[in-house]
Structure 1
Amino acid sequence: MSTPRTSDPIDRSIVVAAPRFEQLTEPLGIGVAAPRVSWKTRIEPGDADAAPFTQTGYQLETTRAGVVTLGEVIDSAEQVLVPWQFPALSSRESASVRVRVRNGGGLWTDWSEAASVEAGLLDPADWVAVPVGPAWAEDLEAERRPPLVRREFSLPDDIAAARLYVTAHGLAEVEINGIRIGRDALAPDWTVYGQRLTYRSYDVTEALTAGDNAIGAWLGDGWYRGRIGFHGGYPNLYGSDISLIAQLEVTHHDGRRTVVATDSDWSAGFGPILASNLYFGEHYDAREERAGWSEPGFDDAGFTPVAIAKRDPATIVAPQGPPVRCTETLRPVSVSTSPSGATVLDFGQNLVGRLRIRVAGERGATVTLRHAEVMQDGEIYTRPLRGALATDRYTLAGADTEIWEPRFTFHGFRYAEITGWPGEFDPSMVEALVYHSDMERTGWLETSDPLINRLHENVVWGMRGNFVGLPTDCPQRDERLGWTGDIQVFAPTASFLYDCSGLLSSWLRDVEAEQLDDGTVPWYVPVIPGGAEWTPIRPGAVWGDVAVLTPWVLFERFADRGVIATQYGSAKRWVDLIDKLAGEDHLWNEGFQLGDWLDPAAPPHDPADATTDRYLVATAYFAESAKRLAETAAELGLADDAAHYFGLATAVRAAFVGEYVLPSGALTSDAQTAYSLAIVFDLLPSAEQRSFAGARLAELVREAGNRIATGFAGTPVISEALTLTGHVATAYDLLFEDKCPSWLYTVKQGGTTIWERWDSLMPDGTVNPGGMTSFNHYALGAVADWMHTTIGGIRSTEPGFRRISVRPLPDARIHSASAAHESPYGRIEVSWQVDGDSFSARVVVPVGVTADIELLGQVTETVTHGVHEYRIAAPAAAVAALV
């Protein structure tokens, strides 16, 4: 290894982007002392004809406290999550990092721009803050009024820098000297609070001043002590207090540090929020506002000393993913008056968030906002919300114009009913704010067919609405839980559309935290009581397999070996448990199973009563998880484990064939889901069996009139199963079908997100009578992964899209399509169109990626970075036959 000299020749045709640390786009307060580093390289504009570039080495440089340190030259082509080369960061320490890379000819690029990373509080001993909140009267069932907490302090005039580290028992928004800190909402995220409570770090230097200062926080119940769960929910799941934990650290020019932390010197009082609940909504009385409450010199009459709660600082952890933020604002597309006389706004999109109003009127007037996903008979229809009231109220102070949005609640809605509006209603005074985890968008697909495009948009919106701090099943009713099966089937789609690596890696830590000692994975994480129907935590296929399959997806899509290493123990405990339950015959054919949940043939009152044998589903998943665990072990260098679990997977596969495959080649469950799982999970050992299964699956689809007949287990794999066995046209028939049940049925019925049930809205326009009927569930949108790989033609074949297959399989009903994915190495683009007698395609491959391009059965061409264009003589009518 050597250090390049400043006189070394430079390859200026390649530009290296500023590096990134771990999976964070905002690495202030990072919780890793030795953060992994990633970077992207690109061809300089104007140098499209530059010689092919292959990285053969790299070098990092850090600047810490003004001292520049060059790392060793590493002879490697790796550029994603490479190890930190320098002494570990200490708490609060910052560093700027640059990188340059060497090509195969020995030339170096210029240094990248520097990126900064700063450690948070890495040692529990760094925390001196304690939880502080109001001294409640002990009525544990009461819906208590959300408080304010505050403190004043003084600083000298030599402020060099200041950081605020903050979390809460409940939810918190902090202000310093009247200035809101950050744009984060609903913070901290919902985690297994007893073991993992996330904090955020903020640079608050500009908010402070020499002399008198004040800090304060709005507090809300949130998930910590608010009612959460089915049938009205349960309060105080994690504690009965509502408390702020905050540590403001001010660094002076001489290196001294002043710490203002939550302690007994704080006081608590009430503000204008009278009630706030995630399900029920928020009531804000502007007459109760306390002007200047977070500024120095405030008259704190009515504020009393805080109560101090308990928190083990070892459980306070830095976040791995982005915070929840407002990412978009929508205006009403129409306004109507309901038969009951209420004003109803239609925002044209089922979304997750809340309303912001601008209103003027008499003091004491109250505006009431109710939310719903659908309308029935001209009124908003709230039955699907069950116990979630989804109602916000604002009582006016009587000022000229008052602007308000709730703080500590969110709703899933397309329609909003407004009553009590003073004077003539003006729809421009109301807007919907879209809230979700502020992940980077990384995937796109557009075709010549507007209905297919709308379906894809529905998948995107469904993901946005259900990634609010963690992956949930639905965002609107009295549930909103982190169901493990939903994200297990949707993770491949999610990881193409957004960089959800940090969020899901964090949530998987909670999965392991809630996993029982015997390996059982709960149905939803975090766990809450849910009534007799759901309270038992017991093993279940599809859902529990999240412990194995989702870490593997994150490794495949983001090249994050760390997540499979971290989750390996959890994954192994799950497979070992199923091995024990299955016994010597390797068949998981006993016990409770949800099976192919929400098969459209299942009755509304029994969504688990599917066409496919639930134990066939369980055994198929047992085989798949054993195989993926073996691959995980091999990737981690655990040879003995790899051999054991490969052997187990083979044994389960043989057991599956012996139990569920008839001599004719048919399956004992002659159903779409059964054949789809057997094909995609590679459970049929002979080519003849696979061919029969594919042909029978295609036949079943045709017999059903191209209507879908799968639930949560079968839907993610049916299109891929048809494609793998040469029935692409039938997969497209499924996609283009618009009668119930089908994907386009939901689009033609006006759906703007993915529904929980194929017929959440019945053909006659009425809402499904089932007790669980959501209009925003992403699981059945898992078909988008097939759309990305088959219509868009982008498939990762090596972790992180380091190598890709570009193989779009067009259909005569789509004349053109384009797909893009911002991979860890850069942006991949594929576009194609059929025009008369020719098929043309354009493929953009980023630096560091190798692409195997196969178009319409032509010989595969292997290419590296650059723009690659093709034109093939192929009449439009013959396209389907060619593929």
Structure 2
Amino acid sequence: MIDKLQMLPQWIWHGDREKTSKVELVKSFMLESTADHIEFRIALTGAVEVELDGNIVGVMEESAANICTFHRILSFPMSLEAGEHTLRLRIICTNIIPVVPINIHLQGRQVGCIAYLKADHYWLCTDESWLANGEQAASICLLGEEPYGDLEEGPEWFVAGGFRDIVASPLECVSLLSVNEAKAQLLNNQVLLSGSGKGNIHIPAPIRNEFHIFYHVRKQTEWRDRNTFIREMNLSSMPVCVLDLDKEYNMRFHLKNRSNTSLTIVWNGAESLQELEHYEGLITETIELEAGGVHTTLPQGLRYFRMYVLADEGYPFELEWQGEEVGVALNQTGSLRTDSALLKQIFDISLHTNRVCHQIGLWDGIKRDRLNWTYDFYLAAKADYVLWDDLAVLRRSIVELGQGTPDGYWMNAIPSYTLWWLNNVWEYYLHTGDKEFVLSIEHDIVRHCRLVESNVDPNTHVLLNVTPTLMEWVPMGPEEGVLGMQALFRITGDNLRKLKSFIPELTELNDWSHPQIEEESFLSGEQLITKLMGIMAGYVSNDEGETFLRSYQIQDPITPLSAYWLAECCSQFGLQEKAWKAISTVWGKMLEEGATTCWESVTLKHERDFHDALTTYTAYNSYRMSLCHSWAGTPVHWILSRVLGITPLEPGYRSIAFRPQKLTGIGTCMGSIPTPFGPIETGWEEGHSEPHILRLPEGIKLAVEA
């Protein structure tokens, strides 16, 4: 029996990577018996000549389309006798994946080849056991990782991904919103669609003649082009159904054509009904299904699903649809039980957002930027620390950006993101006490600290060369952006000092000084985030900070990012009702608009529909805001650390502070929070006058009590 999860193919190449444009990948293998029903499939950068046992059995010309699909070599023998065989792939690559500053962390993945051979009772795939020009092949990246992403025409179990921890499970609450020109049955969240064909249309395949820096950029380009074509064809008279998955998911679906005729399926996916109707970049895919054929799609992020069935005029059809949720299986340890419906809804929506963004990496969103963006997963980690007992996805996100970003480059091409990465290392250690992991990335910590230090004025200690200063989504002038960067620089220096105090082995970490800046510079800033960064960094005094927080009225423009920091600052000063006002207003607005995942941005007052009001531009032909964004799942951290009041004082929760801050009108608020020693359970409930700890695992010291 083949252990599938141990046999996932990897992208491989010669160890010199893009410096070697000609590579011969070789694998000898032994068959103990005759192998039948053989398929050989391959994806790669470049052109390939496939040789088996000294005979050329297939050729692929160089094309950008080669990296999109596991292409079947049709002339590959369908049967092989028992004995030893040698498979040789001669590759010439003249075009490589483009690298620009924003994707510089992928600079080691510009070339690659991934392939598998399957037969009855036999499996062979590319990995580091292959030879590349006579040397051990190098693993370029794992299946599913950027810039290649998911590939078409792989077995459905490839959904596990290169880290082998992604699972697919049936969707639980699918509902049928509409059906036209067909009949639909919904049985156990399986949809049976039947009717009579209204005509078929030839829909051309996507044109794939150039490399893109990211998988999701390629997909969005293809969706836009295909959606434009299909809109022009006007499918309004075709059989169609629209489904609501109840929540947004990274999901895939299985189709089975139970008809005696071939079908063309055109499907759309969207985060909102408005997007489904209006967005030009709508998820738009087509599937050709022969009579009796089956198909499993690649996962995409969506809540609403529309499916057109195209069949020859008058021919009866019957189509079976079954959806699945796709993501890393996580064991939830952090929990909340409360009599406040709104508090529980905000907790649940934040939890769901964080959970579904755990994929190949800790993605910022499951529809649009399916990537490890440093600030996004820094904020997503806030929820990770109080929800899950396994932070493997967060660790690999930290490693990808830390190791992948070369000397002289800011992470994701944004100076603040390198600083947030360094803060992430400290906060990971604070919550886990995982000294071994921190020391395993010591070289990268030091490298990125040196880049920061090389941009500091030795006289004024001002951090230079800080553009682009992405501190917030809301527009801000360059002066405010620079101010925010100086505050972040000071915060980072403080946290690195804490890190070194607990891990003295980090001898190469220097002690940073910070520039002197008057508090009025921050308080006079136009944007909320400027004032908050000044408060968090210590540039704004406690008295002035509290005065501002008491006087501030929540208003547009505000985002989930600044709303979270506002709540944190208010709780820090004991202004818990003001903190709850920030959380309840911003996330409550999302819930009011029907959100099932937390949004990248929010507009409290708007005239247009909410999704159109959120765009960074002005219309549905723009780059759309994400309605599932991991950095907006932070309320769970605020609830468990500020409301229930459990925060670590020493790394790994060896000692904790217990400072619960009750909310007016909430009689019951009980919860648990994970620690390396086991979950802490705490809260308050009606009949008890004061909050109390119900369970404090052995090994944890209660150092500070309310």
* Fold shared, TM-score > 0.5 on shorter chain: yes
Q: Distance in 1 between matches of 2:322 and 2:527?
A: 46
Matched with 1:758 is 602
Deviation per residue, 1:435-489 (Å, 9 max, x gap): 1123333322343222332222222222233221112222223x42221121123
Could you report, residue by residue, the CA deviation over 1:713-752 in whole angstroms, capped at 9, with x for unpaired residues?
Answer: 6444221111112211211121222xxxx22111110011
Q: Give 2:177's aligned residue.
A: 335
Contact 1:355 1:431 in 2 (8 A): yes
CA contact (8 A) 1:680 1:720 kept: no
Name the one with the larger helix percent: 2
Change in Cα spacing, 1:590 to 1:697, as seen in structure 2 (3 Å) is: farther
Give distance in 1, aligned partners of 2:434 and 2:456.
31
- Aligned counterpart for 1:774 among listed residues 599, 619, 626: 626
Contact 2:640–2:673 (Cα < 8 Å) also in 1: no
Could you tell me which residue of structure 1 aligns to residue 517 of structure 2? 659
Alignment of 1:504-543 (within 5 A): 504-518=394-408, 520-523=409-412, 537=413, 539-541=414-416, 543=417
Question: Retained in 2: the 8 A contact 1:820–1:829?
Answer: yes
CA 1:383–1:227 in structure 2 vs 1: closer, same or farther (change >3 Å)?
farther
- For residue 666 of structure 1, report the CA deviation from its aligned partner: 6.6
1:373-398 CA distance string (max 9 Å, x none): 11129x5444354xxx4425250333
Cα deviation, 1:6-29, whole Å, max 9, x if unaligned, reads xxxxxxxxxxxxxxxxxxxxx999
The match for 2:422 is: 548
Question: Who is 1:137 aligned against?
Answer: 60
Distance in structure 1 (CA, Å) of the matches to 2:610 and 2:624: 14
Q: Distance in 1 between matches of 2:690 and 2:468?
A: 47
Q: Which has the larger radius of gyration?
A: 1
Task: Check the 8 A contact 1:677/1:714 in 2, yes or no.
Answer: no
Residue matched to 1:792: 644
Q: Does 1:747 align with 2:591?
A: yes
Q: Which residue of 1 is the match for residue 460 of structure 2?
A: 585
- Indicate which of 667, 670, 683 corresponds to 1:831: 683
Aligned to 2:656: 804
Distance in 1 separating the partners of 2:147 and 2:286: 11
Contact 1:439 1:500 in 2 (8 A): yes
CA contact (8 A) 2:357 2:365 kept: yes
Describe the shift of the 1:496–1:674 C-alpha distance in structure 2 as closer, same or farther (beyond 3 A): same
Equivalence map 1:256-267=2 (5 Å) = none
Aligned partner of 1:720 in structure 2 is 568
Q: Is the 8 A contact 2:648 2:654 kept in 1?
A: yes
* Aligned equivalent of 1:527: none
Amino acid at match of 1:396: E
**Structure 2 residue identity aligned to 1:360:** R
**1:439 aligned to 2:363?**
no
Report the TM-score when normalising by structure 2.
0.68
Q: How does 1:204-223 map to 2 (within 5 A)?
A: none
1:468 pairs with 332, 336, 359, which one? Answer: 359
The answer (yes or no) to whether the contact 2:522–2:530 under 8 Å persists in 1 is no
Q: Report the residue type matching 1:141 in the other structure.
A: A
The aligned residue for residue 416 of structure 1 is 305
- Report if the CA contact (8 A) 2:334-2:672 is conserved: yes
| Match runs of 1:119-134 below 5 Å | 133=42
Q: Distance in 2 between matches of 1:228 and 1:419?
A: 38
Quick one: which of 847, 855, 864 aligns to 2:698?
847
Q: What per-residue deviation string (whole Å, max 9, x for no partner) do you get for residues 84-141 of structure 1?
A: xxxxxxxxxxxxxxxxxxxxxxxxxxxxxxxxxxxxxxxxxxx977998464422322
Compared CA separation, residues 352 and 846, structure 1 to 2 (3 A): same
Residues 372, 413 of structure 1: 8 Å contact kept = yes
Residue identity opposite 2:305 in structure 1: A
1:194-245 deviation per Cα after TM superposition (whole angstroms, max 9, x unaligned)? xxxxxxxxxxxxxxxxxx999x9xxxxxxx99999999xx999633644249
- Listed one character per residue, the Cα deviations across residues 747-798 of structure 1 (whole Å, up to 9, x for unaligned) are 1100111112213995542523432411111213323311221223322222
Seen in structure 2, the aligned counterparts of structure 1 residues 392 and 754 have a Cα distance that, compared at 3 Å, is farther
Cα 1:243–1:809 change in 2 (3 A) is same
- 335-344 or 491-500, which moves further after superposition? 335-344
What is the aligned partner in structure 2 of residue 620 from structure 1?
Answer: 487
Letter in 1 for 2:625: T
Secondary structure class of the residue paired with 1:420: strand
Deviation at 1:346, TM superposition (A): 0.5
CA–CA distance in structure 2, aligned partners of residues 374 and 800 of structure 1: 40
Alpha-carbon deviation of 1:279?
10
What secondary structure does 2:110 align onto? coil
1:547–1:574 CA contact under 8 A, matched in 2: no
Shift of 1:624: 1.5
Q: For each residue in 1:788-844, what CA deviation from the matched residue of structure 2 results, as whole angstroms up to 9, or x when unmatched?
A: 212233222222223333332111132222222232211222232245x84564522
Q: Alpha-carbon deviation of 1:416?
A: 0.8
Give runs of aligned pairs for residues 440-455 of structure 1, distance below 5 A.
440-455=331-346
Distance of 1:731 and 1:487 partners within structure 2: 23
Report the CA distance shift for 1:766/1:789 in structure 2 as closer, same or farther (over 3 A).
closer
Partners of 1:325 and 1:438 within 8 A in 2? yes
Structure 2: gaps of 5 or more residues: 8-25, 30-39, 43-49, 51-57, 88-94, 133-145, 156-160, 181-234, 617-622
Corresponding residue SS for 1:491: helix
Distance in 2 (CA, whole Å) between partners of 1:137 and 1:633 is 54
Q: Counterparts of 1:666-745 in structure 2 under 5 Å?
A: 667-669=523-525, 671-684=527-540, 689-700=541-552, 702=553, 706-707=554-555, 709-711=557-559, 714-737=562-585, 742-745=586-589
How many pairs are equivalent? 555
**2:472 match:** 597
Distance 1:721 1:774, change over 3 A: same
1:490 and 2:380 matched: yes
Whichever residue aligns with residue 475 of structure 1, its letter is I
Q: Give distance in 2, aligned partners of 1:791 and 1:431.
A: 41
Q: Cα gap change, 1:766/1:795 in structure 2, threshold over 3 Å: closer, same or farther?
A: closer
Query: 1:616 corresponds to which letter in structure 2?
Result: L
The aligned residue for residue 397 of structure 1 is: 291
Which residues of structure 1 form unaligned runs of 5+? 1-26, 30-126, 156-211, 217-223, 251-258, 265-276, 290-317, 524-536, 603-608, 855-859, 861-883
The 2-side partners of 1:324 and 1:238 are apart by 25
2:71 maps to 147
Alpha-carbon distance change, 848 to 717 in structure 1, aligned in 2, over 3 angstroms: same
* Alpha carbons 2:41, 2:71 under 8 Å: kept: no
**Deviation sequence 1:545-565 (CA, Å, 0-9, x none):** 243112222212222102221
Shift of 1:588: 2.4
Counterparts of 1:716 and 1:844 in 2: how far apart (Å)? Answer: 28
Is 1:238 the counterpart of 2:110 in the alignment? yes
Q: Does the CA contact (< 8 Å) of 2:681 and 2:694 recur in 1?
A: yes
Separation (CA, whole Å) in 2 of partners of 1:598 and 1:506? 26
SS at match of 1:826: coil
Please state whether the residue corresponding to 1:419 is helix, strand or coil: strand
Q: Is the 8 A contact 1:371 1:416 kept in 2?
A: yes
Distance across 2 between alignment mates of 1:795 and 1:569: 29
Cα offset, 1:369, TM superposition: 2.7
RMSD, aligned CA: 4.6
Relative contact order (C-alpha < 8 Å, sep 6+): which is higher?
2
Which has the higher mean CA deviation after the structures are superposed, 581-590 or 137-146? Answer: 137-146
The percent of aligned pairs where both chains have the same amino acid is: 15
Distance 2:164 2:418 in 1: 26
**1:806–1:853 Cα contact (<8 Å) kept:** yes
2:165 aligns with one of 316, 319, 323: 323
Provide the C-alpha distance between the structure 2 equivalents of 1:797 and 1:432, rounded to a whole number of angstroms: 44
